Amino acid sequence: MLIKLDTKGLACPMPIIKLKKCLAQNAQDVQIMMEFTDAGGLKDVPAFCQQQGLLYELVQQSPVMEFKIWRQTL
Amino acid sequence: MDKIIETREMPSQFSLIQTKGTLDWAYPAFILASTAAVMDKEVEMFFTFYGLKTILKNTQGLKVTPLGNPGMPVKSPVGPEWLKKVDWNQSLPGLVWTLPGATLLATWGFKKQMLMQGQVPIEELRGLCLELGVKMTACQMTVDLMGYEQDEFIEGVDFAGAASYFAKTPENQSLLI
C-alpha cells in the first residue's frame, strides 16, 4: 500500500513526529511518500530512517522535497 | 572492558533539566525531547525553578523579552520585506524594551514568527511530548518554593525531587536548559 504523508510547511520536529505516527498507524508493508519543506529534513529523515531500520529514497528535491520510505522485509 | 559492555546494554536515554521559564527557552526543550522520543529514546525531563512555568496548564505567563536577552533577534513578522529584515534588538537601545507593552509585543511577534516557521503552539508541542511517552517530573521543592499547587500543572506530570530524577536518568549525560 502506498500512502501520501503531507508535512509541507511544518518545521522540525513535526515532520518526523508525523512520520512516526504514520508508521505506527499503518501495516507492515506500507510505503510512505513523505512530502516536506523543512530543509533540515534532507538530513533528518535519512538519519531517522537509519536509526529506525527503515529504507528510504529521495524522490525529488524541488519544488517540494519528497522521500519514499518503507520497512525492511526479511 | 566490563564497563564498556555495560554501557552498551544501557537503554538509549535522553534527559533534560529545564530551569528557564520563558517561551524562547521552552521551545528548544520540547523540540529536543519530542525528537528524542520519536527516535525511541527514553526521555526524562526535570523541571525546576522557573522551568516549572513551562508545564503549567495556564501558559499566559510564558513570555519572551529582548530585555537582557541580546542573543534574541527581534524582527517584525509583518510588513514589507525590508522591514522584516531589521533586527530591532540590535538597532534600538535596550531601554525601549522596558516600556509598557514591549514584552507583550515581543511575545506576540515571537509566537507569530514561530507559527510562520511551521512550528506548533507550545501547548501542542508539550502535549505531543507526553503522547510520545516523555516522562516529566516537576521538582517538588521548587513547586512549594514558588507557591504552586499540583493541580496547576498539566496532566501527566510527576512530582519528585532531584534524587528521583538522577536515579532514572543516564549515567553520564544531562542537558541543562
Cα atoms in the 13 Å half-sphere on the side-chain side of B161: 3
CA distance B67 to B94: 6
Residue B6 lies in a domain: no
Chain B nearest CA to A6, separation (Å): 13
Give the up-direction half-sphere exposure of residue B17: CA atoms within 13 A in the CB hemisphere: 17
Q: Å from B115 to nearest chain A CA?
A: 9
What top-level class would CATH report for the domain A2-71?
alpha beta
Question: What ipTM describes this predicted complex?
Answer: 0.83
CA B135 centroid distance within chain? 14
* B2-23 pLDDT, tens digit each: 444 444 456 789 999 999 999 9
User: Which of A17, A21, A35, A49 should one mutate to test binding to chain B, selecting the residue with the greatest count of B CBs within 10 A?
Assistant: A17
Q: Residue B170: its pLDDT value, please?
A: 81
B1 found inside a domain: no
- Domain residue extents for chain A: 2-71
Q: Is the pLDDT of residue B1 over 60?
A: no
The C-alpha cell of B93 is what? 537601545
Span B46-55, pLDDT tens digits? 999 999 999 9
pLDDT in tens, B122-172: 999 999 999 999 999 999 999 999 999 999 999 999 999 988 888 888 877
B34 and A9: CB-CB below 8 Å? no
What domain range is B108 assigned to? 16-36+44-176
**Which residues from A are below 8 Å from B117, CB to CB?**
11
Look up cell 535519512; give the residue. A46
E strands of chain A, at which residues? 2-7, 31-36, 54-60, 65-71
List, for residues B22-38, the tens digit of each pLDDT value: 999 999 999 999 999 99
Asked if A13 and B132 come within 8 Å (Cβ–Cβ), the reply is no
Q: What is the pLDDT of residues B59-87, one digit of tens each?
A: 999 999 999 999 999 998 889 999 999 99
CATH number, domain of B142, equals 3.40.1260.10
Using H for helix, E for strand and C for coil, what is the string for B26-49? HHHHHHHHHHHHHCCCEEEEEECH
> Does A66 score more than 50 pLDDT?
yes
CA separation (Å) from A58 to A6, A34, A46, B1, B146? 15, 10, 9, 41, 50
Mean pLDDT for the stretch of residues B172-176: 75
Rounded CA separation B126/B59 (Å): 11
Best interface-test mutation with A: which of B39, B40, B113, B124 has the largest number of A CBs within 10 A? B39
According to DSSP, residue B128 is labeled H
- The domain total for chain B is 1
Chains A, B: CB contacts within 8 A come to: 32
Q: What is the pLDDT of residue B38?
A: 95
Residue with more model confidence, B103 or B169: B103
CA distance A17 to chain B (A): 6
